[in-house]
Amino acid sequence: MLLVEFSTDVKQLDEWSNRVGATLSVESLAAPYARAQRYILTMKKALLKKHGFTELAPSDHRVLFTIECQPLHRSAGGLPRSPTMKLELPIHASSFFSPERRVQWQMVFHSAMWPSLRHTVQPIGDLLHLLQCLMPGLLLVVQIEDGWRTARGLPPADWVKMNEQMLIDILGVGPYKRLSKAAADPKLAFMTAQQR
């Protein structure tokens, strides 16, 4: 079973941040997340233009955008096998950590969209990986198999290398180099534990 897990558990976030040599705080996320928004909006435009997403009015003034698409997989009777896939992101990174909005972000990131589209719809994969770079540990790609849980908190090293200029523009040279090194090291990019 493969899924994307959204978590604001401070201990987990600290552990992932330490793996990339960063100190994570709501304040340290604000500027990189703001710089990333032009890239995020480019990814959103590609989803609207090429991948069948439609734009909705944002659910509130704190949301950067809200888009949705119908599930690709249908039953033999033509009914969708999962609910409409909705993607929305906040204007400010601090919104991810707001307790009253936790369910909102869980509904976005725990949907079928991420595991089913991240390899076939490039902007979805790019968005997931960019958010992993900005906030290591917030979004984990989790594989559960034979009693073991393997979580990947960083994007693949080849994605990091391919997007070097964007990531340097957002994070800076030093943080990019630390991220690139950590993403290339399986001991840092993955965390494996036996399921209880």
Residues 2-6 have a mean pLDDT of 91
pLDDT > 90? residue 59: no
Global confidence as pTM: 0.92
pLDDT > 90? residue 146: no
Residues 4-17 have a mean pLDDT of 90
Percent pLDDT > 70 in the chain is 93
Residues 49-57 have a mean pLDDT of 94
Task: Note the pLDDT tens digit of each residue in 24-36.
Answer: 777 788 999 999 9
Task: Select the more confidently predicted residue: 29 or 40.
Answer: 40
Q: Which helix (H) or strand (E) is 81 found in, with range?
A: none
The rounded distance, in Å, linking the Cα atoms of 40 and 55 is 14
pLDDT > 90? residue 53: yes
pLDDT > 70? residue 80: no
pLDDT band, very low/low/confident/very high, at 78 (cuts 50, 70, 90): low
Task: Note the pLDDT tens digit of each residue in 88-145.
Answer: 999 999 999 999 999 999 999 998 889 888 999 999 999 999 999 999 999 999 999 8
How many degrees, rounded to 5, is the angle at CA 122 between CA 170 and CA 38? 30
pLDDT at 92: 95
| All structural domains of the chain with their residue ranges | 2-194
Average pLDDT, the chain: 91
